[in-house]
Amino acid sequence: MQYFITGASGFIGRRLVKKLLAREDSTIYFLVRAAEKESLANLYDFWECDAKRAIPVVGDLTEPLLGVAAVDRKKLGKKTTHFFHLAAIYDLSADADIQLKVNVEGTRNTVNFAEEIGAKHFHLFSSIASAGMFEGLFREDMFEEAEGLDHPYFKTKHDSEGIVRRECSIPWRIYRPAIVVGDSRTGEIDKIDGPYYFFKLIQKMRKMLPAWMPTVGIEGGRINVVPVDFLVNAVDHIAHAKGEDGKCFHLVDPMPMRVGDLLNTFARAAHAPEMTMRINAAVFSFIPRHMRKALLALTPVRRIRHAVMKDLGLPEDMFRFVNYPTRFDCRETSRVLKGTGIVVPPLENYAWRLWDYWERNLDPDLFIDRSLRGQVEGRVVLITGASSGIGKATAWKLAEAGAHVVTIARDKEQLDDVVAEFAAAGLKLHAYVGDLADMASAEAVTQQVLAEHGVVDVLINNAGRSIRRAIENSFERFHDFERTMQLNFFGSLKVTMGVLPRMIAQKRGHIINISSIGVLTNAPRFSAYVASKSALDAWTRCAASEFADRGINFTTINMPLVKTPMIAPTKIYDQVPTLTPEEAAALICDAVIHKQVRVATRLGITGQVLHALVPRVAQIIMNTTFRMFPDSSAAKEKKAGMLPEMPSADQVAFQQFMRGIYF
């Protein structure tokens, strides 16, 4: 048999050609643009054939008779048994004029060409979109009944069908596929479309929340998806079946899922939390259409909507189709395919393959230089308190990645030792002595850094002090609160306010504030420390909102307990699960790369959720831990030389339990 195919290089077209080539004595002619002819090697590799069986024909869909030269038309010799027209723009966001030119006029040009070369059968790949926003059950023999065709894509797919039905003199068959996803056996796909738009959102939820955490989602109409291998197998069989000309076939799932169920299926595949509570999008239909349009036309609303959709990676029109009202009858398709074994596989059986292929090959983050070197090489990074602990470990990683690392700390001797240690390893650390708890010193040293380095590209506010003491033991120690606030909040703020003007001028910058898990969990005995970090968190949220459109990013890291000299005096921490400084530095470097708004452990987020949803329960839990672990000897101001208290059996058991859920 001799076939002619438009759109042979597309996702569906490539697989259909390969399927047809499996037929004995088949020869494929396929349309290519002149610019594509020199890049056909990949196609032939995929098809596992050469130009003897798959023959390119140079032309253009938008030209009369597809722009195919007369000599090439003559070579076809009126021997084409089946003509498949797949080429079209499958993009909801594409320009309306382009869609009209390609989808409608291109179909008319294709029909005329097929008639010119004497094709015996004409096969049009349409779409369920040709039904528009029809409310109810749309049968395979329905066409004129389509409604709600105001979207350009829906309109052009409907009109292209009309051309075939009214103008094509060749026996024709029309195929209306549902949303086509990847291969059910391999997961392979080559574009982001349909449910794939929600994959980035699901991925973000997985990173933020444990899989068991219930979340609120959206519910809507039934979304019909089919894997590409089912589509190709079905078309191959139907196209060669006798007596089916002049019919339309719905290549759909006879049991489509609702939006919420479909998204939860992919959430399970991604090991992300499921949407246990769902808000039906239909509730918004109670708002009169003219009011909705007027509201969405407001500049603040449009700006917020655009920013949110961009951050989630969703197209602007996506939520227009969430409450999709159309269901599709497929009895004719089922009749022709009966007994062939060609059926739509349950999405639950292959969703994991789709997710895995997307995350390994199509995740947009894969195409961004996410290496630490790619983000900081040649950039000035200021880290406060890098003479030890977390700051030192972070400075080391950044210096190894090619950053110009600058630090501010109080202890000159310790700084000199660290600089020498870096130098011995072939690394450069620019060290400045300054007391950030002293506002005059903080301002002076910040200006010195700017004068000598010009600008700070990344600021990491790491220097801080912590005090573990119950409020009951702090009545006579108000200075603890003053000192903690002075360094943790005012000192960090002073440095930040110093570097911000330069960041604003260059329209680029990143400020990372090292906060604490205690801010999320409201940890008892850390009232001074948590209060100071909470103040910094609140200021950061305000600043992030003000500078969201200025190219300046803010990140808050709610750091869990880290094994540093700062916690060494509290011996009870010897048995508590902690991060190493290197692990903490890895969290900071990840924030430098990805510029998240917040970095927190799952334990911290769980604590925050508990305090938000069931505050009384959260208080009881925290009070239990408060009573279980007393103040240290130092906090109680016991005399030197007293033996430390041994942990009780309950304390040891609780500490071991926490090791398993710490993250």
pLDDT in tens, 95-123: 889 999 999 999 999 999 999 999 999 99
What are the counts of helices (DSSP H) followed by strands (DSSP E) for the chain? 25, 22
Relative orientation angle of helices 289-297 and 299-312, to the nearest 10 degrees: 80
Neighbours of 52 (CB within 10 A): 7
Kindly indicate the confidence band of residue 517, based on its pLDDT and cuts at 50, 70 and 90.
Answer: confident
In a 10 Å sphere around its CB, with 0-12 CB exposed, 13-18 middle and 19+ buried, how is residue 101 labelled?
A: middle
Confidence (pLDDT) at 610: 84
Token representation of residue 523: 């940890």
- Confidence (pLDDT) at 628: 63
Q: Does residue 485 contact residue 531 with C-beta atoms inside 8 Å?
A: yes
Active-site residue among 197, 529, 573, 662?
A: 529
For residue 574, the tally of other CB atoms under 10 A from its CB is 13
Interatomic CA distance for residues 8 and 184, integer angstroms = 21
**Is 536:518 a contact under the CB 8 Å cutoff?**
no
* Whole-angstrom distance, CA of residue 531 vs CA of residue 304: 32
Q: Who contacts 133 (Cβ-Cβ below 8 Å, separation ≥6)?
A: 147, 148, 149, 154, 324, 325, 326
Give, in order, the Cα–Cα distances in Å from 620 to each of 60, 614, 615, 626, 654.
72, 10, 9, 10, 15
Give me the chain's average pLDDT, please.
86
Q: What is the pLDDT of residue 304?
A: 56
Residue 183: pLDDT over 90: yes
Query: Do the strands 380-384 and 458-461 form a parallel or antiparallel pair, or are they unpaired?
Result: parallel
Contact 466, 529 (CB under 8 A): yes
CA nearest 413: which of 396, 393, 433? 433
- Partners of 600 in the beta sheet? 558
* pLDDT confidence tier of residue 636, bands split at 50, 70 and 90: low
Cα Rg, the chain, nearest whole Å: 32
Q: Are 152 and 100 in contact (CB under 8 A)?
A: yes
Helix or strand run (H / E) with residue 423: helix 412-424
Is pLDDT of 299 > 50?
A: yes
> Which helix (H) or strand (E) element contains residue 328?
strand 326-328
Q: How many CB atoms lie within 10 A of CB 39?
A: 10
Query: Which element (helix H / strand E) includes 599?
Result: strand 598-600
Buried b or exposed e, range 67-96, using 16+ CB within 10 angstroms: bbeeebbeebeeebebbbbbbbbbebeeee
Band of pLDDT at residue 550, cut at 50, 70 and 90: confident
* Nearest alpha-carbon partner for 321 in 176, 204, 195: 195
Which residues make Cβ contacts (< 8 Å) with residue 610, sequence separation at least 6?
A: 617, 618, 621
Q: Which helix (H) or strand (E) holds 513?
A: strand 509-516
Cross-strand pairs, 138:
328
- Whether the pTM exceeds 0.85: the reply is no
Structure letter (DSSP) for residue 284: G
DSSP per residue over 180-246, as a string? EE--TTT---SS--GGGGGHHHHHHHHHHS-TT--EEEEE-SEE-EEEHHHHHHHHHHHHHSTT-TT
H/E run at residue 398: helix 389-400
> How many whole angstroms separate alpha carbon 172 and alpha carbon 338?
21
pLDDT of 542 above 90: yes
Pure H helices in 547-613:
581-594, 602-613
- Orientation angle between helical segments 259-269 and 199-208, nearest 10 degrees: 60
Distance in angstroms (rounded) separating the CA atoms of residues 7 and 31: 7
Whether the predicted pLDDT of 396 surpasses 70: yes
pLDDT in tens, 121-145: 999 999 999 999 999 999 999 999 9
Indicate if 350 belongs to the active site: no
Facing residues of 176 across strands?
250
Task: State the pLDDT at residue 646.
Answer: 57
